[in-house]
Structure 1
Amino acid sequence: MRHSQFAKLTWFSCITLSLILSGCKDDNNTPDIPATSADPLVGIWQAPAYGQVLDMQADSHQLYQLTSVSCQRIEFDMAHDKLKSSMQVSNDNNSIVNTFTGVKNPGIVMHKQNSLPDLCVNDLTANKGEANYQFDAQQDFEIFWQTFSQYYAFFDIEDVDWDEVFQLANNQISPQTTEAELVDILTQMVEPLQDFHVDVNNEELDIQFSVHRKDNLYDIALQDFMFTQQVELPFEPEQEEAFEIYFENAEQQYREAIGSHFVIDSDIETDDNETLFWATFENNIGYLNVDTMDLNEIGDSDNSVEQNKALLAETLDEVMEYFADVDGVIIDVRYNLGGDDFASTMIVSRFIDKFLHVYSKQARLGDSRTPLQQVIIGSQGSRQFLGPVAVMTSASTSSAAETFAMSMRQRANTTLVGEATAGGFSDGLDKVLPHGTEFSLSNEFYLTPDNEEFEGVGVPVDIEQAFFTLEQREQGIDLGLEKAEAWIMQQQ
C-alpha cells in the first residue's frame, strides 16, 4: 500500500487506501438524535470492529476514534455531501454501509446508537492543539497498546504475547519520557509483528517506521550488493551512493529482460502516468504489466475516486482492444506494491464474462469476527479477454495486488507463476495518538470462496520460479516469463 499526505493525518498504506476518520464539528457534547429525524442518515453510528464512531448531523459530521480507555476527535477534511452520498442505510434504518466516499470497498457496516459513548461525552481525550492538552507519555502509550489489543488481528502469526509486550514497554515509560523516546518505544513494540501494514509515523520528528516479513526487491538487491562488493552494514556515504546506483541498474536489468520478449518493432502502449504498459510477445501472447493498484498514481491525486476509476476504465478499454486477437495474456504484478482493491477488481472484470465470487472480508470483533462480506465481480466494458491468462507474482506483490492474485485464482483457465505473494491483505486501520504520532494496524481477514486465508504466507502459485535473482539479472533472462509463456502455449 502506498503512502500519501492529507490534512492532519496520513494515509498509510502499502499498499490499500485505508479508511481515515474525519471531523467537521467543534462542540464537545453532542445531543441524542431525535427519533423523529426525517433524514435516516442523521444519528450516531458506530463500527465496533474498527473503533470508529460517526456523529452525523443534517449539515455537519464528526468522527471519533474509540478504545475501551479513550475517545478522540479526529480531524479530516471531507465534504459533508460526498460523505452522505457514500452511505447506504438499511431498510430498518438501524445500520449503514459507509464507503467513506468510495475509499473503503466493501464499505464498513456501522450500527445506530442512541447517543455517543460516555468516553466521548464525559472524558474526551484532548489532542495536541486543543484546549487542555498536555503531553502524557503514559496515556499515549496505553492508548497505543489498547488499540492493538482490541483491534489487531494477527498476533498469532509471529506468536507475539501482547501482554508481555506491555510489561516490557511499560517499564521504559516515566514522567520524563519525551515524544521521541515514546515513539522509539512504540516502534520496538510492533517490530516483532513483521506486518507491513503496521506503520508508525511522526512527521514533526521525521520518523517513518514499517517492517515486512518477506524480502522485497530492495532487500534482494541489497544482499546481492553486499555479497558482490564484500561490504557490510552500516554503509559509508560512498557505499550508500554506490548501492543506489546498483539498485537502479538492477531494476533496469529486470526491465530489459522483459523487453527481450517483445515482438521486434511492435508497438508498446502505456497509460498517461506509465503505471500500466502492454505489448505483444512472440507466439501471439499479450503482456500487461501493472505497476500499482493506487488510483491516485494511475489517475490524479486531485481527482475524485470516481474520476480516477473512469480513467482506469478508459485505459482498460484500450488494453482489451489491443488484446482482441491474442491467444493468451500474461499479467505481471511482480513489482506491484498494492493500492486500492477496487482497482484490482476493475482489472479482473475485464477477464470474466459472468459474476464471480472472488473473495470475502471480515474484521476482528473481540474474540470473534464480523459477518463475512462477499466480494462478487461482474464483467465490465464492451470487450473481455476470456482465453488463458498467466498471472505473475513475487514476494514483493503486496496488498491490493495480492487481492488481484486471489481474485484471478478463482477464474477458469488461469495459472499463477512465480513466488507466493507478500502475505498482507488487510487494509491498514489508521489511528493517531493525542500527541500526533500516526499509526496503522491490520484488523481484517481476507478469505477465498473456499475459506482459505493467506495472511502472513501469501497467495500460492501453481508454477514456482524465483524472481529478481542475481543470476537471472546478470544473464539478462526472466525464467518466470519463460514459464508463463510455455504454459499459455500448452493451452492452445
Structure 2
Amino acid sequence: MTRRSALVAAVIALAGTASAQPSHAQAPGADTQGASTQGANTQGVWRSRGYGYIVRIDAAGPKLFHAVDGACYADPRPQADPDGILAVRRAVGPGAIAFSSGPADTAYLFDRLPALPKACLAKTDWTPRRVAAVTAETFAAFYPSSREHHIDWPARARIADKAAGKATSDAALFDVLDGLMAGLNDPHVGLQATLGGDEREFESGQAATLIRVRSESKEADPAASEKAWLQAYKRGVMDGVLRGRGHQTANNRVIWGRVGEIGYLNVATMGGFDKDAAPGDPAALDKALDEALTAFEGAKAVIVDVSNNRGGYDDISLRIAGRFADRSRLAWTKVAVGARGVVPQAFHVEPTRGRRYLGPVYLVTSDVTVSAGETFTLAMRALPNVVQVGERTRGALSDKLNKPLPNGWMLTLPGEIYRDPRGTRFEAVGIAPDVPRAVFAGDLAEGHARMIHALMDQIEQGGAPSPVTRS
C-alpha cells in the first residue's frame, strides 16, 4: 500500500494515523493479470528504475541495497524488506519484474543484473565526507523539485564535502547534512538520527498557516500550540458550522452533519479510522460515510472539507472520492524520478460500493492540505460535479522515499512525479483552487468556520460557483 509514514507519525499526536486499501493502479508496462513470479524465477540480482534500489534474492530471501552514482551499500535495517515493497512480484517482460506492496499498489520496476555490483560488496569506510557525498548524490538523483526550489546539488555537495572534512563528531556531521538540505521547505524531506542517546531530527516544509499558529500561540511547545488550535478548529466545526448537531466519528477523523439543504463532511486524515483495528481497516470509515451520505440524500450540495487534512494513504483518498464518482475516471499518474522507459502508473477513481452522492460538491482546501490530502484533491478534481474552493494546497504529493544512510541515520525525501489527467504536476507548487477564498483569514480560531458559513450562504442563495471544465 502507498505509504506516507512520516506525515502519519506527525499526525498521531494531533489527529491520528493512517493506512489504506489497495488503489486502482496499473503497474508500469504490466498486465494487471500478470502471473505472480516465485522461487527460481525471482532469484538473482535486480536494479530498480528510479528509487535507487538493488535487491538480491536467494534461497534465504531478499537483501536490499541502495545505489546511487557508483556508490552502493546494504540497507542497515534488520528486516529483509523494511519498507514492504517486495511483497508481490510479477513478470512484466524479459528480464524485468514489478515489485509492490499489494497486487494493485505502487509498482517498482526492476531489471535483472548479471551479478551484484562490486561496490555493493566493498567494505567501505563511511567517513563523514562519504556520508555527505552519498546524501547529496541521493538528492541529485531522486529529488523531483530541484528546479522549483532552485537547488544546485553539485554546488551544495562541494560545500558539504569541505565541511564534512572538518567534522569530528556525529553532531558535526548532522550539522553538515542540515546545511545541505537547508531551504528545501519540503514536508517530505527529513533526517532522523540518534546522537549520544538523544534523538535529533531535521524537518522542513511547514505550511504558512501552521507557522502562524505557532507564532501567535501562548504555548511554548509547538505541538501544544497546534493541538490547541486543532481543538478550536473542531469546536468551530461542531458548534459553529453544524450548530451543535454534528457527528464526530471514525476515531475522531471524520465530522459530518447536515445544515438545511447542505451536507458537510470533514476528513482530518486519510487513515487511522479505528484505534482498535489495523491502520488500513476501512470498516469504520465506510460506516461513517454510509451514515453521512444517507443523511445527505436529496441535499442541494455537499461540502467536503479537507482544509486541515494532514495526509495518510492514497488508497483511502481514492476510496473516499469514489463516494462522489459516477464512473471510473483517471485521477493521476505517477512515475519515479529517473525511471527511464517506464510508463507512468495510472490511478483511477472508481465508484465506491455503498452510498454515493452525485450532486454538486464543493471541496475546501488550504495550505495545510498535504500529501494524501492532495492526491484526494486530484481525485475529486477528476469528477465533473466537484468545485475546489479555498487555498492552494501544500505541494507535497510524492510518497516519501526512505533512504537509510550507511551510518544508520534515516533520510527521507520525495522521489516521484505526480501528474493530473492533463499532465500538470503540482509538486512544490500545490494545487490551486477553482475558486480562491481565504480559509483561515483573521482570527485563527474562528476564521475557518466563518469561511464555511459564507460558502453555505452562497450555496443556499444560488450564487455558488457551478462545476467547472478544467483544461
Q: State the TM bucket, normalised to the shorter chain.
A: 0.7 to 0.9
Q: CA deviation at 1:267?
A: 5.2
Aligned sequence identity (%): 24
Match of 1:345 in 2: 318
Match of 2:205 in 1: 212
Match of 2:278 in 1: 303
Q: CA deviation at 1:2?
A: 5.0
Q: CA deviation at 1:155?
A: 1.0
Superposed counterparts of 1:131-210, under 5 Å = 136-174=127-165, 177-204=168-195, 205-210=198-203
Taking the aligned partners of 2:438 and 2:378, their CA distance within structure 1 comes to 19
Q: How many equivalent residue pairs?
A: 435
Opposite residue 323 of structure 1, the aligned amino acid is F
Q: CA deviation at 1:106?
A: 2.5
Match of 1:442 in 2: 414
Larger CA deviation: 372-381 vs 323-332: 323-332
- For residue 464 of structure 1, the aligned residue among 426, 433, 436 is 436
SS of aligned partner of 1:120: helix
1:270 aligns with 2:249: yes
Match of 1:259 in 2: 238
Using structure 2 for the length normalisation, give the TM-score: 0.82
Opposite residue 47 of structure 2, the aligned amino acid is Q
8 Å CA contact retained: 1:15, 1:338: no
Taking the aligned partners of 2:380 and 2:299, their CA distance within structure 1 comes to 19
Instruction: State the superposition RMSD in angstroms.
Output: 3.4
8 Å CA contact retained: 1:46, 1:54: yes
Match of 2:96 in 1: 95
Taking the aligned partners of 1:116 and 1:148, their CA distance within structure 2 comes to 23
Taking the aligned partners of 2:316 and 2:159, their CA distance within structure 1 comes to 42
- For residue 213 of structure 2, the aligned residue among 214, 221, 230 is 221
Superposed counterparts of 1:325-336, under 5 Å = 325-336=298-309
Taking the aligned partners of 1:135 and 1:85, their CA distance within structure 2 comes to 30
Opposite residue 71 of structure 2, the aligned amino acid is S
Structure 2 portions without partners, runs of 5+:
10-15, 21-36, 467-471
1:359 aligns with 2:332: yes
8 Å CA contact retained: 1:391, 1:415: yes
Taking the aligned partners of 2:86 and 2:128, their CA distance within structure 1 comes to 37
8 Å CA contact retained: 1:339, 1:401: yes
Match of 1:56 in 2: 57
SS of aligned partner of 1:321: helix
Q: CA deviation at 1:420?
A: 0.3
Structure 1 portions without partners, runs of 5+:
7-13, 19-35, 126-133, 226-238
Opposite residue 115 of structure 1, the aligned amino acid is A
| Structure 1 residues 209 and 242: alpha-carbon distance in aligned structure 2, compared to 1, 3 A threshold | closer
Opposite residue 156 of structure 2, the aligned amino acid is V
Deviations 1:365-395 (A, max 9, x none): 17x6743111122112132111111111110
Match of 1:279 in 2: 257
Deviations 1:419-453 (A, max 9, x none): 10001111111101121111111221111111111
1:317 aligns with 2:296: no
Taking the aligned partners of 1:145 and 1:59, their CA distance within structure 2 comes to 33
Using structure 1 for the length normalisation, give the TM-score: 0.78
Deviations 1:15-48 (A, max 9, x none): 9989xxxxxxxxxxxxxxxxx9964333333213
Match of 1:113 in 2: 113
Match of 1:382 in 2: 354
8 Å CA contact retained: 2:19, 2:316: no
Match of 1:22 in 2: none
Opposite residue 173 of structure 2, the aligned amino acid is L
SS of aligned partner of 1:187: helix
1:291 aligns with 2:268: yes
Q: CA deviation at 1:69?
A: 3.2
SS of aligned partner of 2:337: strand
